[in-house]
A and B are shown apart, each in its own frame.
Chain A
Amino acid sequence: MLLNSLLRQPGRLLAAALLGGVALAAWAGATPAAHPPVAPGSPLAKPPADAASAAGPDEEHDDSANLSASARRIYDVGRPRLLQVRTLLRDQDSQASVGSGSLVGPNGLILTNYHVVSQVALEPQRYRLNFQTVDGVSGALQLIAFDVVHDLALVRMAKPPAAVANRGTFDFRPQATPPAQGERIFSLGNPLDIGFEVIEGTYNGLVERSFLPQILFSGALNPGMSGGPVLDDKGRIVGVNVATRRDGQNISFLVPAEFAQALIARGANAKPITASVEPEMARQLLVHQQALTTRFAALPWRETKHAHYSVPVPQEDFMRCWGSSNPAESKGLSFERSDCQMDTAIYINERLRTGDIAVRHEVYDGGKLGALRFAQEAGMSFRNENMGRRTHDLTAPKCQEDFVESGGLPMRTVLCLQAYRRLPGLYDVAVLSQSVDAKAEGVQGRFDARGVSFQNALLLARHYLQGFAWKRSP
């Protein structure tokens, strides 16, 4: 019950907090995990003394004996190949954000998250990338490839220093033998820029009902660890740190290693990216939206229990639906609400997440209000919907509206689209529909898809509207 109410709280954009690539100062307010306003005793609230001791990674600590023997062994193996990836302002040495990375190939090839390097990728004229190893070697980095959908990027040292030449690289755990649920795995990274850490946790399989596969890691990830490797007890990469749930504890997410291997296979020999990344980003997102649209549109709508209305409610294959209603003793409008959304959204920049679908509806009973007041209430609710506005990334919405009939049910329907200003061919679509058949009852539904092609936007809108119907009273 409590968990439900907590889970309902996060907006769809921020259900999962990313772990790096963003200024720590900015995260401090946004992510409970970044600061310690968490319950005392929780592993996230690190006493300052520990933080200070973690800053000297090269020293041998007496308390290192507290770590399990494996964690210590893993850290020793991983330490030479572990790095911090820093985004600096182009013209000064101030860091704008920090993340982590791992050496995965010859000539200083480093794997990290896309969101760790997104500022450099999108605004190379304002930012540059730097690395720092555990033992203090540093230098410039160049972006060479990225997978925006799975939040991965490859960067390469511009001039690999001799000191890092013979450090070897991390191996990947073979895909044929995935870890078993409950297996110990070890996350490496530099949380909050206070020092490199190894964090012991548990592999818990893939996150259920997630459109994009993510590993559920039961361990405490923190901002700044993004892009760091997660190793099995043989020191092989099983995943990459990417996000954590702010409303849970020790609920963290990893990008499965197979996507990193695929990116390395196609990008390891690429030249540094000098042109705009936006066309390639748009191409990757178009591939993703095609897969998402095809899968979503192939699913039938679920049966709804309402006496008069069939309402499009999605299957929960890769979405989660929460329901709510107002108290029965209320004297005004009674309503029941269902809110379905995807857990994963694709990070583009600090302001923009995309590549997901949300469906919600409210069923109204205005029996206590009468026809006029019901129409007024329904109108207020219909009018209040936010259809978006012009931003740095999106055009203003442009809408089409009419009375639409589906399955014998007349509705007032508005279809709004916004185009991406920097990612050609991508659109956000919102469909708002309000039944206008009855004097004192009705249904209002809203469908949203972000980052789809124009054709798919219309296809999804049609699919959604066709999910409405009027049912003959039993």
Chain B
Amino acid sequence: MASLAATFGRGAMTNGWTDVANADVILVMGGNPAENHPVGFRFVMEARLKRKAKLVCVDPRFTRTAAVADYYVPIRSGSDIAFLGGLIHRAVSTGKYQANYVREHTNAGFLIQEGFGFEGGHFTGWNAEKKAYDKSTWQYEMGPDGFAKVDPTLEHPRCVFQLMRQHYARYTPEKVSEICGCTVVEFERAADMILVAHAENKSGTVLYALGWTQHSHAVQLIHAAAMVQLLMGNIGMPGGGVNAQRGHANIQGSTDMGAWNMLPGYLKIPRANWTSLDEYLKANTPKALRPNSMNYWGNTPKFMTSLLKAYYGADATPENQYGYQWLPKIAEAANHSWAYFFDGMTEGKVEGLISWGMNPVANGPNTKKMLMGLSKLKWMIVAEVFETETAGFWKAKELAEKYYPQAGDAASIETEVFLLPASCFAEKDGAFVNSSRWLQWKETNIEPPGDAKRDQEIMSRLFLKVRELYEQEGGRSPEPLTKMKWDYATPHSPSLTEVTREISGRDLTTGKQLNGFGELKDDGSTVSGCWIYSGSYTEAGNQMARKGQEDPTGLGLYPNYSWSWPANRRILYNRASLSTAGKPWDETRAPLRWDGQRWKGDIPDYKSDAKPEQYGSFTMLPEGVARLFAPELVEGPFPEHYEPAESPVENSLHPLVSFNPAAWVIQGLGDQLGTAKDYPYVGISYRLTEHFHYWTKNVSASSQLQSNFFVELPEALAKEKGIVSGDLVRVTSARGKVEGPALVTKRLRPLQISGRTVYHVGLPIHWGFIGRINGPLINNLTASVYDPNSGTPEYKGFLVNLEKL
């Protein structure tokens, strides 16, 4: 999501599932929706049936999606940026881009300061000591009026468009073939199918998921896809967009509501160097870079003040900076991503862990480190529906074998584990936020069994008890707890309706629910727990519970069904579906029209009564246009192909800087990296449609559908090793090993990379040591290597060896 925010202004799927049916061409790359999003995949099928849309699938594996695609191209895991860079090169060099869109709606014409460049694998400003870039040369050239300089002809040698053309000139079809392993013909055929969408009356969509996000260069990769889509004029268009398919029913919601580095609504978490609310707001309220930029983040003070009022209520006053000092602050350069938790544990720096809605022993890279970390805790609380590998980590054979050989059981592990029975989705009400950003309200179906409690009750009881202890016994800085507003009707278990109303927000002077974030104020007179959700629960009631199936635009936007953030808008950046002058690029597919007074159709991503020419079309960015050149990203403003941390080959573009120089490579317990000499094959982990992560191994139906772990192997490799389907094989990496039966398949094509044959070894993930069906944890093999923008581990493309047992 980090990439989409840096490119367009918001970290979310731009369009929505139902809108996929409006596409003319669908690129599935870095995802396998037929497998992992089969219900959403119906809209892909609808596009084929209704619009004769073409489905192009690019993936190391011939997947279930590939099986129904019009065209499939295999590429090596970790080579996606080379493929997308090749698309950019082909679009620009053959004129297959939507020129008017690029000029009007992107920063293609913005001039970059003198001194910016790229050489030998580094952009300018690389500091090898700090392992970070000084971005001072990556900035716009500013005019005397205080705004960025723009060349609308796109001809200035230092304008973004020309720099982009130059950067991707290296990504020729031959280079793509050399890096990715597909043939030139395959690349060109796929490219020509995808680039059809550059026509003003054609739309193409991109669907991706963890096949893109789980790389050490994932955010750059998604930025590359966003660039392709901007060149095609596909952002803001029905049937267009860059569409991240979320892997859990509410993962978009959990992102929206905050993370270690974000407060709700994508407000940055305070850093220790922002010592006052004023300093915080100054650092996080951007200034417009163009005179016509709406620069909606300019309203940050309203969002932040309303959030602080939600946290601290009447105790939040202008005098005490609305309680800003009670918010936790992290050191200026500190990184508290969960990626580092387990190193902290193994080093004895972490005493306790509350693991809730996550199963790090199964999910985290280098399983042994996860297990070992937990074994060094004093206490751990796990709130779950089932016992997970995390709750039962002390049962792991690996732990007993390697670190506690004398015990062989839990006796020598001192971690005290509390497993709290939580409740599953059907046992509670509340909203799920799906990939389409729809907040869909659901009711409780059945009561939680036995002693199981709903999340809000577990959370509230913990909070109230800890607060009581602070009140009774004092302690350092108790205010974050004692000042927390907790005026719910049943404090130990607040109703989610009550909490949701608070999140949506109210006007404190009238006591009325707000209609949306446009009504938020920075003077403490409004409250909203997450500004982007403002308007989801109004005086008219719970908007998320709506079931209206009207479709006035005929584009499948369904404005009266559930509620979509922001402001019930269905297609983000929909203003870009028209020219600056206000003419739809495609009259048959216009989500928005200007009637001379107001915008009609979808909720405009624009001021509802502002004339077409008044503002730029990307309202969340200070440029007012989308970014082809995105200096926010830590490893460069343009995506560049870097090899995975463990790669079978050197980077053929710049062998000396083969790997993403800014990626996080953690060197904790057992974190060594391997080389192709010892581990010659490319491992990739993935999900199967029959299972949902590590949950459904507790469910009888799913356990029947895929009972057994297996290792997928290319036929040629199996032949080389004398392996046939069903033979037991062992897969090893520099971190660990897994064993299981081989599934020999034609669907993993050997690829020719830089003159050698590269094989993929496929490793589905759904097993573990607890549940109805058991099998190895694949993350025994994976490395503690992360994307530096998002903190997502590199689970696609790590090196393994293979032997027949």
Whether A associates with B in a native complex is no
A-contacting residues of B (Cβ < 8 Å)? Answer: none
B-contacting residues of A (Cβ < 8 Å)? Answer: none
